[in-house]
Structure 1
């Protein structure tokens, strides 16, 4: 079917008259110019200007044809398809003399016309689809009121999570509603971009906002989410899974190469340390230039000596007003009105100051602290069961977690509900556990008035068992120890305490009186110390208790405790700790006895043991016996085992003699003197060797095996190999394995002790 080109052009004129008249005039003008152009046979060269005019005329012709076709498609007239448009252009070329003047091939003209028509077709069909789906506020309404699956697909989260996040951002003032965009829509824009990797132009079309508005709200939400990162974004677990650690096939690919000493970067002061130093100066801290504070990514912050330090040197003075305590905290009134004290009240003070952020007087100090220490207290129950199974801490940590949760529920939660001005997110049970971990590992006892508190600078010194270099003390306590009988000093101390009660805040900050120290020198000692610093009862002192060489780390000590106590309170262990012990519960001893004798028999022997004034160690309603680091059992355990294994005649003789004897040891000594044919004088002082009968040694071996079985199926060699592979970076696994290995070594020594005792018989 042929198409009349004149009819086609008339149709275009009619359509153009209803819209813009410019296109009609341009096309008509083009036709007039074409009629005035003389035609010639064949092609001829034209000037550059004439060629450009011809190209412009051709493009106008294409635009008219494309607009004609677009209008036809809008009316669903398929007679103006691409192929038919090309036929029309062919006929126009045959009848129009102007087309011969173009320096364009016919197939190029067809291609351009087809491309123009295809472009208009796509733009029209896309516009039709866009108009059929909601946009802007309609899109948000359909999203939040529609099915849950649609919200989860578009926003990558459930509706209740989306609304909760919006409320959090609105409540904390991180985002605000604008005249045209609510917080819900701002967050939806952000989630669409990050959840689907959408471009700005697509989001403009979907939400019907300009590109600048989309970009501005995206960045605002991004900043708000970054500020919540510490609460909602959990960093990846850097610990290697046990399946890889225990596999000779996979572990070599994950093992870290150790750097040689020449390649290890020297520790240096980090940005957070520099900020902490500026804060200390503003609070009136004084510290020696002989101390170097270093921040190592693997080992944390430590203190080293830049030159030789002597015993008696005062290396730091800390204002009591700068210590974070219940008395100095801004939450003092709230804490005291709730009747809280001790570590519970200090935890509330710490959480309150953290909630203030940069507005807290301790902001420079708090930014140096981790959110929580890696104590078993903050481990998950699954980690406690898998890593501490069989150790002294397994049962203790579970009991601690239950008690701390009850404390939060009974004491902290009512404060949150009754104080609308505080942010409840900083007083959650997770934050309470985190605060308790910091207090357990970093707090010091300051004085009777302040109680315990967080002491900046003092908590930077690392621990070393039995190797205390620096001692933390109060200057006025030291003067009291020098002269306890001086009445004038007592009066002075009382007046100082009164001043402390009235000036306990940070409003009256101590001036920056840091002593100027010459190069390679430090704070003087002995008599010069008083002149350099002065005796101030409002200050705490760090005093050297022994000499430390230049370049050596300066240690504090947290007490002479074993690895179980170190891991429980501070989150680390020490190799070959001489204060390690293993406990054997009385319940375990009775279980062993019931496996050999009747329950009534065991209860009778235990009652006799108690009538002899013996008892084990008691802690939290549990009774146990200690095995020393050398594998030597407690005397009370040997006595109980000896009585358990006494023959009936000896037992009855001991039972009838108990009322007439003066000393319990004398009664046992009487039995031992008859059995071993020794003098009464020697047997009156009972020795462990006399109690180590063959049966008692066998009982010790059985108790050691039963206690060993609590660690599971892995042998001690398996634990030692796993500890070597995991490395110190995986703190939880490393220190829990160190505790297991140290305890199992003690049990091995207990077996050796029992074997050596049995060989005597």
Structure 2
């Protein structure tokens, strides 16, 4: 099955592409003679292909920092800097989004040849643009509907409380009738799908490691040409940052005619669909994961509890775990085992302690003196191989929590039916081909998660 396109760009692209490539020349973006941008033979409407064989370490293109679009390179940069305190928000994206609102609409913008590649944003197909009913029907249990509801609520609040008052104060630069909430939402999706974030400087991190407050991440920026590349987990190129420029560098041999793929990091299909509007085919994404909500481990622990005293003890353990885990709402599993192993290890230990052990644990406020269970040992114990050797009581809790999570994908059906309903669609080529793009992407997310949970149940079966 072919890799699905990362995203769709323009429908009629030849003229827009030529304008963009000429603009790249003018701004000093240097493209290797060994690659070219094309609509033919690529995973997406546009992509980058190799004209000749390319060796590891070769630079595919170089982008001067002056050709990056962000709040510091827009015509309204001085105003955005002057009033940056009034533009603070939970997302940290408002200055960039205001810059994009300003640069996207005028015909004479310096950035027009770049932004014209997305002339109407109709190709953006993040779940935030699906109907609520469609999200619930296709993505139930995946965590995406809840994440999208939060996104939309935050976008609306940010626009109403921060962006709109700022635009009203500067009617010569922004017009609420043009720069609407709908356009703002589309630009949020654009930034989610196409922007890049510069990694924190490791030396700065070392200097600040004693600071109590966590350093804020670098703001996102738009990187022309780099965003033409599609993503796969098994990528062959990577974006490198230097003080003067950004460089796309080949990280393994690329054959003539092969597509050049970048990576957005270790992204599960649910993250790819939520943030970028696409998925990798089932089994192609080596980074796929499934979440087990922490509450499901609690529900599993309460099963079979008869006496009031036992129930009170479980409640007390749950309250302590909630204090310890704080915002960590789920345990994350990959095909290799639990990725949040220390959190799961603590939860299993607390739920399965004797009453005396729990009392001592509380007295120590969750701290333990023994060093027997170091990080490496915990990681091994909760790997796919290690799960087979867990204590029966621990295996039972994980098994039941996975079962409860699997059931959340369906409408009251048994977990076997929940898995089999999607398995039929995945294995029937004609049925799969008959699905819409949204249905296929949702299926890739659901089935990948279900298979991880199903295997987890098999590994923890008593």
Q: TM-score, normalised by structure 1?
A: 0.48
Describe how 1:61-210 pairs up with structure 2 within 5 A: none
| Deviation at residue 753 of structure 1 after TM alignment | 0.6
- The equivalent of 1:90 in structure 2 is none
Q: In structure 2, what is the Cα distance between the partners aligned to 1:464 and 1:654?
A: 46
Q: For each residue in 1:508-552, what CA deviation from the matched residue of structure 2 results, as whole angstroms up to 9, or x when unmatched?
A: xxxxxxxxxxxxxxxxxxxxxxxxxxxxx2x33222233211111
Pick which of 396-405 and 712-721 moved more: 712-721
2:195, 2:223 within 8 Å by CA — same for their partners in 1? yes
- Give the SS at the match of 1:438: helix
| Deviation at residue 283 of structure 1 after TM alignment | 2.4
> Which is greater in Rg?
1
- The equivalent of 2:404 in structure 1 is 706
| Deviation at residue 635 of structure 1 after TM alignment | 5.4
- The reply on whether 1:332 has 2:84 as its aligned counterpart is no
| Deviation at residue 626 of structure 1 after TM alignment | 2.0
| Deviation at residue 553 of structure 1 after TM alignment | 0.8
- The equivalent of 2:229 in structure 1 is 461
Q: In structure 1, what is the Cα distance between the partners aligned to 2:303 and 2:362?
A: 28
- The equivalent of 2:120 in structure 1 is 371
1:466, 1:559 within 8 Å by CA — same for their partners in 2? no
1:632, 1:753 within 8 Å by CA — same for their partners in 2? no
1:629, 1:746 within 8 Å by CA — same for their partners in 2? yes
1:630, 1:746 within 8 Å by CA — same for their partners in 2? no
Describe how 1:251-270 pairs up with structure 2 within 5 A: 270=14
Q: In structure 1, what is the Cα distance between the partners aligned to 2:366 and 2:222?
A: 52
Change (3 A) 1:425 1:704: same
- The reply on whether 1:287 has 2:39 as its aligned counterpart is no
| Deviation at residue 738 of structure 1 after TM alignment | 0.7
Structure 1 alignment gaps of length 5 or more: 1-257, 259-267, 477-536, 670-681
- The equivalent of 2:143 in structure 1 is 392
Normalized per residue, the structure richer in helix is: 1
Q: For each residue in 1:384-420, what CA deviation from the matched residue of structure 2 results, as whole angstroms up to 9, or x when unmatched?
A: 2222211032222211211111111111111232233
- The equivalent of 2:110 in structure 1 is 361
Q: In structure 2, what is the Cα distance between the partners aligned to 1:623 and 1:657?
A: 22
Q: In structure 1, what is the Cα distance between the partners aligned to 2:192 and 2:361?
A: 50
Change (3 A) 1:454 1:381: same
Q: In structure 2, what is the Cα distance between the partners aligned to 1:731 and 1:643?
A: 44
2:44, 2:230 within 8 Å by CA — same for their partners in 1? no
Structure 2 alignment gaps of length 5 or more: 3-11, 201-217, 412-416
Change (3 A) 1:367 1:728: farther
| Deviation at residue 561 of structure 1 after TM alignment | 2.0
2:361, 2:368 within 8 Å by CA — same for their partners in 1? no
- The reply on whether 1:380 has 2:131 as its aligned counterpart is yes
- The reply on whether 1:573 has 2:279 as its aligned counterpart is yes
- The equivalent of 1:349 in structure 2 is 99
Question: In structure 2, which of residues 347, 350, 359 is the aligned counterpart of residue 655 of structure 1?
Answer: 359
Q: In structure 1, what is the Cα distance between the partners aligned to 2:223 and 2:357?
A: 61
Question: In structure 2, which of residues 166, 175, 181 is the aligned counterpart of residue 429 of structure 1?
Answer: 181
- The equivalent of 1:141 in structure 2 is none
Paired residues in the alignment total 406
- The reply on whether 1:543 has 2:217 as its aligned counterpart is no
Change (3 A) 1:686 1:412: closer
Q: In structure 1, what is the Cα distance between the partners aligned to 2:186 and 2:423?
A: 30
- The equivalent of 1:217 in structure 2 is none
Q: In structure 1, what is the Cα distance between the partners aligned to 2:298 and 2:168?
A: 48
- Give the SS at the match of 1:329: coil
- The equivalent of 2:419 in structure 1 is 716
1:631, 1:747 within 8 Å by CA — same for their partners in 2? no
Q: In structure 1, what is the Cα distance between the partners aligned to 2:335 and 2:71?
A: 39
- The equivalent of 1:271 in structure 2 is 15
Change (3 A) 1:550 1:602: same
Q: For each residue in 1:83-111, what CA deviation from the matched residue of structure 2 results, as whole angstroms up to 9, or x when unmatched?
A: xxxxxxxxxxxxxxxxxxxxxxxxxxxxx
Q: For each residue in 1:446-476, what CA deviation from the matched residue of structure 2 results, as whole angstroms up to 9, or x when unmatched?
A: 599x953211111111111142x22323443
Q: In structure 1, what is the Cα distance between the partners aligned to 2:103 and 2:251?
A: 34
1:631, 1:748 within 8 Å by CA — same for their partners in 2? no
Q: In structure 2, what is the Cα distance between the partners aligned to 1:305 and 1:695?
A: 55
* Higher relative contact order, structure no. (Cα contacts within 8 Å, ≥ 6 residues apart): 2
Q: For each residue in 1:320-372, what CA deviation from the matched residue of structure 2 results, as whole angstroms up to 9, or x when unmatched?
A: 2222111111232443344236422111111111111x211111111112633
Q: For each residue in 1:551-608, what CA deviation from the matched residue of structure 2 results, as whole angstroms up to 9, or x when unmatched?
A: 1111111101211222222122223222222222222222333443354221223467
Q: For each residue in 1:11-54, what CA deviation from the matched residue of structure 2 results, as whole angstroms up to 9, or x when unmatched?
A: xxxxxxxxxxxxxxxxxxxxxxxxxxxxxxxxxxxxxxxxxxxx
- Give the SS at the match of 2:247: strand
- The reply on whether 1:443 has 2:443 as its aligned counterpart is no
Q: For each residue in 1:652-674, what CA deviation from the matched residue of structure 2 results, as whole angstroms up to 9, or x when unmatched?
A: 255348769997374999xxxxx
- The equivalent of 1:559 in structure 2 is 265
Change (3 A) 1:370 1:722: farther
- The equivalent of 1:589 in structure 2 is 297
Q: In structure 1, what is the Cα distance between the partners aligned to 2:422 and 2:451?
A: 11
Q: In structure 1, what is the Cα distance between the partners aligned to 2:133 and 2:15?
A: 36
Pick which of 404-413 and 328-337 moved more: 328-337
Q: In structure 2, what is the Cα distance between the partners aligned to 1:451 and 1:745?
A: 36
Aligned-residue CA RMSD in angstroms? 3.6
Change (3 A) 1:426 1:386: farther
Normalized per residue, the structure richer in strand is: 2
Q: In structure 2, what is the Cα distance between the partners aligned to 1:657 and 1:413?
A: 51
| Deviation at residue 317 of structure 1 after TM alignment | 2.0
Q: In structure 1, what is the Cα distance between the partners aligned to 2:287 and 2:332?
A: 11
Change (3 A) 1:443 1:609: closer
Change (3 A) 1:728 1:397: farther
| Deviation at residue 375 of structure 1 after TM alignment | 1.7
1:292, 1:303 within 8 Å by CA — same for their partners in 2? yes
Change (3 A) 1:653 1:474: closer
Q: For each residue in 1:91-144, what CA deviation from the matched residue of structure 2 results, as whole angstroms up to 9, or x when unmatched?
A: xxxxxxxxxxxxxxxxxxxxxxxxxxxxxxxxxxxxxxxxxxxxxxxxxxxxxx
